[in-house]
Structure 1
């Protein structure tokens, strides 16, 4: 298998309190974050990273943005942003995926998992165990009976696709290092770092274990020094406006 290219797939947005991105800031201001899935095209077929938000959160048309009093996390997605529609615009269906890489099982990353009944879903065993024993994870993200392939620690899925164990934001979070024929090396931190400030400046952000989060970021910095990839952060608003999205490759 050769990794040819990788695409950013927009999958809606989510309003969150600014303190989620930067725990040193006070509550009360909402930030509109991009939600992403990622499509890897390989010589063996397509691979999907993350499945976006649950279909049940989708509306026909977005209304006005609510004020900060409406809550800390507010999904903003239309039916166009549900993962089946997102994939369809790229010319694919869930059944055509060679496999799915699941970074972690928060609602904005694993909400569409149930659509992938056949493809193997690569998830860290620690994430699966945490989700299946906690109501903190939405039911749409912890679907039993799918074709799970459990990973424990770092794992090379194929040449050019390395899953890097980066716990802290969630119990079994994993980031992805890609080496593409078209664009070279790309590191997807996913939610090991929401933003450049989290990664570069050590700005604290939401997670289950702050010490693990810091260790995972230091580990990814070592990867950057060794591999010299371009780095794409999980929910960086500015970066999301600058990088090309489908149909242009990253």
Structure 2
């Protein structure tokens, strides 16, 4: 190995030391199958609400943050009649701002909050980490303020319309595969369909390798296998294209794939605070 290659290898190895991915959960939502798997039935269906924390030498990163604290304190006041369709089951102690402390991260340590999208079950971190930049797609941010009628209940304006939030807006295909820290560890992938500005996250860990966090671009294994669409979509064709895109990425990177709300496969992952992926 030439000296230049040795220097690059040693720098990368040192830089990647301590990178960890933690998988958290902010309770569940009780609903019906048809609202998760389009046209699939009236049976009760309970889904997990995951969120993720990545410890990184350049600053800790939260992905989504799960449900906001208001869903635990007064769900009827905050979500209104939507509770009749999507009923949140959450303890106050499950809020992301409190859970980060269980893995020795202070709220002030969080440098970036990546929003896959701005729906009410993904908005728990917004505005609650004082040093964080919040990263979303520009089209998602704009749509959240003026959604189509069928998507309007999924956006709670009070969750994201807050003062003093530092936003960083990505620009769809123009910024696709945005590399957050420039080291290949965290890449943001444009995956519209569930919402116009949905994005997924590809994480490259030193030991585990690639992990693909689909977010709601793919709720469950049925979506991954083209057996159904999500229960809520802004564009069915975009949703199908995004799943195909993610499957291609997973194959090319040999990634472990984490679906957005799959109640079966979610049980198989190692959960924080005790466990992590590195």
TM-score, structure 1 as length reference: 0.90
Q: CA deviation at 1:24?
A: 2.9
Q: Which residue of 2 aligns with 1:139?
A: 157
Q: Which residue of 2 aligns with 1:64?
A: none
Distance across 2 between alignment mates of 1:138 and 1:177: 27
CA spacing shift, 1:109–1:129, aligned 2, 3 Å:
same
Larger mean CA deviation between 13-22 and 201-210 belongs to 201-210
Tell whether the 8 Å contact from 1:164 to 1:177 is kept in structure 2 after alignment.
Answer: yes
- What SS class does the counterpart of residue 100 from structure 2 fall into? helix
Matches within 5 A, 1:19-30: 19-27=34-42, 29-30=43-44
- 2:116 matched to 1:103? yes
Distance across 2 between alignment mates of 1:143 and 1:88: 26
Distance across 2 between alignment mates of 1:10 and 1:124: 24
Q: Which residue of 1 aligns with 2:5?
A: none
Distance across 2 between alignment mates of 1:82 and 1:185: 27
Tell whether the 8 Å contact from 2:32 to 2:44 is kept in structure 1 after alignment.
Answer: yes
Return the index of the structure with the highest Cα Rg.
Answer: 2
Q: Any stretches of 5+ residues in structure 2 without a counterpart?
A: 1-14, 75-82
Q: Which residue of 2 aligns with 1:39?
A: 53
Q: CA deviation at 1:59?
A: 4.5
Q: Any stretches of 5+ residues in structure 1 without a counterpart?
A: 61-69
Q: Which consecutive segments of 4 or more residues in structure 1 shift more than 3 A?
A: none
Q: Which residue of 2 aligns with 1:248?
A: 275
Number of residue pairs the alignment of both structures matches: 240
2:180 to 145, 153, 157: 157
Q: Which residue of 1 aligns with 2:7?
A: none
1:180-228 CA distance string (max 9 Å, x none): 0131110000110011111023322222211110010011111112111
Distance across 2 between alignment mates of 1:140 and 1:110: 10
Q: Which residue of 2 aligns with 1:198?
A: 223
Q: Which residue of 2 aligns with 1:71?
A: 84
Distance across 2 between alignment mates of 1:132 and 1:201: 31
Distance across 2 between alignment mates of 1:54 and 1:41: 21
Distance across 2 between alignment mates of 1:51 and 1:93: 14
Q: CA deviation at 1:91?
A: 2.0
Larger mean CA deviation between 172-181 and 76-85 belongs to 76-85
Tell whether the 8 Å contact from 1:17 to 1:30 is kept in structure 2 after alignment.
Answer: yes
| Greater strand content | 1
